[in-house]
Every structure is written in C-alpha cells, then in structure tokens.
Structure 1
Amino acid sequence: MSSVVIDRPLGLPPGMWLGILAGLGAGAFWGMTFIAPLLVAGFSSVDYTVGRFVACGVFSVLLLAWAQFKQRAMGGAAARLPSWRQASAAVGLSLLGYTGYYLLLVLAIADAGAALPVLIIGTIPLAIMLLGKPAGLRWKTLAPALVLTALGLALMMQATAAEVGEGGSGHLFRGLVYAVCAMASWTAFGLLNAAWLRRHPEVNSTLWANWLGVAAGLGALVLWMFWGSAWADMVQRPGFWPFVAVCAVTGIGSAWVAAVLWNMASRRLSPSLAGQLIVSETVFGLIYTFAWSGQWPAPVQWAASVLFVLGILASIRAHR
C-alpha cells in the first residue's frame, strides 16, 4: 500500500507526472523570453525574433544531420524526413507558436514594457483550459482551477498597474494590441499542435521539435530579408556579441528545449491540463523580470503567484 502512495502521488500515473514536469520545464524556459529584449539595447524586435529562431533552426538542422550521419554509420535506413503535408503543418504551426508569436511579443514589450505583456500572455492557460476541456470533465470540477488562476491574474494586474508602460516606448495601446494578438496566436498553436501530435504518434517529440525548428529558422530568414537590419550594420553596433549570445540561449533553450518538453506534455496530458501549466511561464517570466530589475515582488504579487500554484494543483486534481 505504501509503495502505491510513493509511486503514484496524488493518485496520478507516472506518465502523467512526466507530462506535468515537462510542462513546468517548458514554462521555465519560455519565461526567459520576457527579459531577452531588455538584456541588450540597440537591436530591433525583428532582429531579436530573427536571431532567436535562426539559432533554433541551425541547432535543429545540426541535430537532423547528426541523426542522418549516425544512421548511415550504423548501416541503417536514412533518418525520417517529413512529407509535404507534415512540412506544411510544421510551417503553419511554427508561424503561430514561434516566429509570429515571438515577434508580436517582442513588439508588445518594446511598446509597453515587460509587465503588461507578461500579464496578457498569462491568460493563455484560461483560454486553452476553456477551449481544450475534455468532454468527460465536468465544469464544476475544473472551476476551482479556473477561479484560482483568474484571481491570481487579477491580483497581478492590480499590483503591476503602476508599472505598465515602464521600459517601453510609451505606445501603450499599440503594445496592448500586440500582446493580445500574441496571446491569440499561441492559444491557436497550443490547441492545434496538441491535436497534430495526437494524430501522429509515429513522430516523436524531439523529431517534431526539429521540424518545427527548421521551419521557424526559414521563416525567420524571410522576415530578416524584408524587415531585418543589415548584417554589416548589426555587427558594428555596441553589444553585438552579447546580442548573439542572447539569441543563441533563447533559440536553443526557449525555443528548441522548451518545444521538446511541451511536446512531451502535450502527448501525455489533456489540452486543458497542459494549458493550465502554461501559467508557469508567467511565474518564471515575472521572477526573471524582478531579478533583472533588482526589485522584490510586492506582497500582492507573491499572493498572485501562490494562487497560480494553487490553480495548477487544483487542475491536476481535477484531471486525475
């Protein structure tokens, strides 16, 4: 009896716990994107978007090439390549959840500072929980998680209302629009990506992350050709190499590693529970932002974070 308690805490199977840990890990990496544009000044939102996803694309290509080399060296068949249908799905989803989403987020941060976009992006769990609820799950069972998350967002919004616009260009309304569009874009990605993974169990999480990474890298190059800064101009700017380092870290960590973790979570959890775990991105994003600014959160912000954690626990309980 005691071994059952140890092996299945809260009555959840090990596979479900792996999905939960993977979802929280993805949130920790995603939270880095909120401070990336604040680390090095002098580069545009397009520059950051392009740099991050080119790094992700290059890393994905290297991993795919290594897989091909390893398979050939072992005398096996060539590593799997996507069909035209799979490739088009990767391009479309990478636009929703990678290049397009991150560009909108960086534009929002540039116009309104980091606090407001963090809060708006934080509503993604509510949207996915509402839209991705399993048919057999009753609303009253899910209600505590929804209420706790909504209360946490309300507290955080009240606490940071005075900070809205700080660090941005002063175009608050435009930043608000960008943030809402980013939220809608990633909500669509979260639901559609989970549905695609359920329909294609033969494609593992790492391989799908590589395909998405290549698609995002190609999309970033197109973006750079039309709207990015000239290479010679960027190289001459102060802080170019720190900028490259930030792009590499967020491209590999916040894009590729987070994608693998999120794919693992999406395979093992229902969309509503996986969606709830996205609130960890908000918590980590706020922690990183506060650490960068050198300020401790106010008591009401601590209270909001506690509500977020309680919301996650309530959602886990509801999905047992």
Structure 2
Amino acid sequence: MWIGTLFALAAGLMWGLVFVGPLLLPEYPAALQSFGRYLAFGLIALPLAWLDRARLAQLGRADWLEALKLALVGNIIYYLFLASAIQRAGGPLPTMIIGTLPVVIALVSNRRDAARDGRLPWARLLPPLALIAAGIALVNQVELAQLRQDPAADLGRYALGALLAVGAVVCWTWYPLRNADWLRAHPDRSPRTWATAQGLATLPVALLGFLLTWAVLALTGAGPAPGDGPGAGAAAFPLPFGPRPAFFITLMTAIGLLASWLGTLCWNEASQRLPTTLVGQLIVFETLAALTYAFVLRGVLPEPATLAGVALLVVGVLSALHARPEPLVADAHPD
C-alpha cells in the first residue's frame, strides 16, 4: 500500500511539471506544445525500447492497439486540452478543475471495477471524498475571487479555458481506468515495459501531428490568437521551433523524460499495487505539485484559504488510504 502510494506521489510531482510548460511558453500554440512534448517522449522511448526489446517482443497486436489508444487519449488529446486551458485561464483554475479527478475517478471506478477490486462502502468512501471536494472548492474559490478583482479579466476566455479543462478531465478519467485494466490483467508484465510501449505508440502520432502543426503555422504565419495567454500575439511564428528554439526543445525534452516516461512508469507501478478506486484519488498529488509550481512562478505565497484547501486535500487522501475494499461476494466455505 505505502510503496504504491510513494510511486503515485513521485508520479504526481513529475506530472505537475506539465502545468508549467504552457505558462513558460505562452507564445507557443498549444498543439505545438502537445505534439512537441510527446514527440520528445517517443524519441526518448527509442533507446529504452532497444534495452527492453525482449519484453516488448512479448506484446501482441491487441497490446499495441491498447497502447496506441492510451497514448492518443491519455497523452496527446489530454495535453492539448490542458495546454489550451492554461493559456486561456492561467494556471490555478485548470489545475483545480483537473483536481476533481480523484473524486471523478473514485466515483466511476467504485462502480465499474467493484467485481475486480472489491467495493469501498460509500459510508467509508464519502467522507474522504467530501474532504477532497471541499479542499478543491476552497482553493478554487480563492482563484475566482482574485479573478473578479481583475478589471482586465476576460471572463469569456476564462470560461473557455474551464471548458477545455473539463475535456482534459474526461480524457484522464478514461485513461487511468483503461491503463489499470491492462496492468491488472497482466501482472507478469513490467510497468517499465508498458510505459515504454506507450512512448513508442505515441511517436508516429506525435510526429504526424507536429508536421501538420508546422504546415498550418507555415500557411497562417501566426501563433496563438490575441488574448490566448500572457504575451501571446498574432505575429509571424518563426519555424521550425518558434521564437525560443533552444528553450522550447530543452523544456519539451525535460517534460517528455520526467513527466511522460518516468511519470508514467511510477504511475504504472502504483496501479499494479493499489485498487483503482484508491489510486485514482492519489492523482491529487499532481494537483498539489502543480499548485506549488504555479505559485513559485508567480513569486507569491498562497492565501491562507488556499493552504487550508490543500490541507483538506491531503487529509482526504490519507483518510482514504485507510479504507479497504470489500469483496462483493463472500468466499465460499472450503467444505
């Protein structure tokens, strides 16, 4: 239980980095950031795949098809939604919407996966979920209050960012459930191999998407539309790697290595050790990490209400870890 929790914590710390990219590259289109990140992930997976080629050879056609689905929905489409949301609404609002994932995943998996993992009685599940939801709501309320005080705030742009973040939630509710299905169905397979397989499956899709994005930018000659984020504008977008090529390549490579491959590896390790209902709640570590990074970039300390919300999140997760799933049907008597 605790080893799985530590792996989930490590994954959250690295996944929190993905919220930083759109804030550091506001003038780069979200599509270029999404495809760039996963192109780096796929390229990083190539030498890892060579080292792990014997285990990868054991994967069948159905396994590779599942890896492709996971890569497309849980990687590329998810990050396209998320990066677009952050560019329009800033860091904290999409972070807190993504922070509802522990609640959403727990609710879905407690019904969907009860036959496999057992069912957590609602009497035990609802209190920690209520704490998590209250923490998310409290932090979100602080951000909304600050937004109302900004006379230059574009509420329509923020609303669109929130909607895009909801799309990211849908993608990442589907991803961990399907990913856990495969891992729990193949306990003899290495989580490292499965993380590398998803990187390989991502590579051709990311490369095609990156080339198509280049083509669109070459035809239109512009980056993000005005108002898409701080510093964004409609000036000609220099190809192939934008106005800050060295920084863009370095950041995409770092996120591809840490957040995509290593983060996925740690999450796979956690998914093999923990019931899906519980591991879904541990995505809260990503929310906490992302909030920390966002406030570091802002250069300000969080409000007391924000800290109180974070405390509620942590207490909710810790209390959830003490709950144990119960089998739906009691084991038959051996006689």
Candidates 23, 35, 48, aligned match of 1:50: 35
**TM-align CA RMSD:** 2.2
Partner SS for 2:27: coil
Candidates 276, 283, 294, aligned match of 2:288: 283
* Equivalent runs, 1:59-98 vs 2, <5 Å: 59-68=44-53, 80-98=57-75
Provide the residue aligned with 2:323 in structure 1: 318
The alpha carbon displacement at 1:319 in A equals 2.9
Candidates 264, 267, 271, aligned match of 2:272: 267
Higher helix share: 1
The alpha carbon displacement at 1:44 in A equals 1.0
**Paired residues of 1:110 and 1:168 also in contact (CA < 8 A):** no
CA separation of 1:202 and 1:78: change in aligned 2, threshold 3 A: closer
Provide the residue aligned with 1:156 in structure 2: 139
CA separation of 1:78 and 1:182: change in aligned 2, threshold 3 A: closer
Partner SS for 1:296: coil
Provide the residue aligned with 1:244 in structure 2: 249
CA distance in 2, matches of 1:210, 1:78: 10
Provide the residue aligned with 2:100 in structure 1: 123
Task: Note the residue ranges of structure 1 that are not aligned, 5 or more in a row.
Answer: 1-15, 69-76
CA separation of 1:140 and 1:218: change in aligned 2, threshold 3 A: same
Provide the residue aligned with 1:105 in structure 2: 82
The alpha carbon displacement at 1:46 in A equals 1.1
TM-score under structure 1 normalisation? 0.87
Partner SS for 1:234: coil
CA distance in 2, matches of 1:55, 1:251: 5
Letter in 2 for 1:30: W
Letter in 2 for 1:43: Y
**Paired residues of 1:209 and 1:256 also in contact (CA < 8 A):** yes
The alpha carbon displacement at 1:177 in A equals 1.6
Residues 155-189 of structure 1 deviation map (CA, whole Å, 9 limit, x = unaligned): 01111113459899862222122110110110000
Provide the residue aligned with 2:166 in structure 1: 180
Residues 239-259 of structure 1 deviation map (CA, whole Å, 9 limit, x = unaligned): 210111110111011110010
The alpha carbon displacement at 1:17 in A equals 1.2
Task: Note the residue ranges of structure 2 that are not aligned, 5 or more in a row.
Answer: 219-236, 326-335
TM-score under structure 2 normalisation? 0.83
Provide the residue aligned with 2:205 in structure 1: 219
- Identity among equivalent pairs (%): 35
The alpha carbon displacement at 1:201 in A equals 2.0
CA distance in 1, matches of 2:266, 2:84: 26
**Paired residues of 1:273 and 1:319 also in contact (CA < 8 A):** no
Provide the residue aligned with 2:313 in structure 1: 308
Residues 56-87 of structure 1 deviation map (CA, whole Å, 9 limit, x = unaligned): 1011111111334xxxxxxxx68525321111
CA distance in 2, matches of 1:38, 1:99: 18
Provide the residue aligned with 1:209 in structure 2: 195
Letter in 2 for 1:102: Y
Candidates 231, 235, 239, aligned match of 1:234: 239
| Structure 1 position 24 matched with structure 2 position 9 | yes
The alpha carbon displacement at 1:89 in A equals 0.4
**Paired residues of 1:124 and 1:187 also in contact (CA < 8 A):** yes
**Paired residues of 2:26 and 2:87 also in contact (CA < 8 A):** no
CA distance in 1, matches of 2:283, 2:59: 28
**Paired residues of 2:13 and 2:289 also in contact (CA < 8 A):** yes
**Paired residues of 1:115 and 1:163 also in contact (CA < 8 A):** no
Letter in 2 for 1:302: L
CA distance in 2, matches of 1:168, 1:37: 19
Instruction: State the aligned residue count.
Output: 297
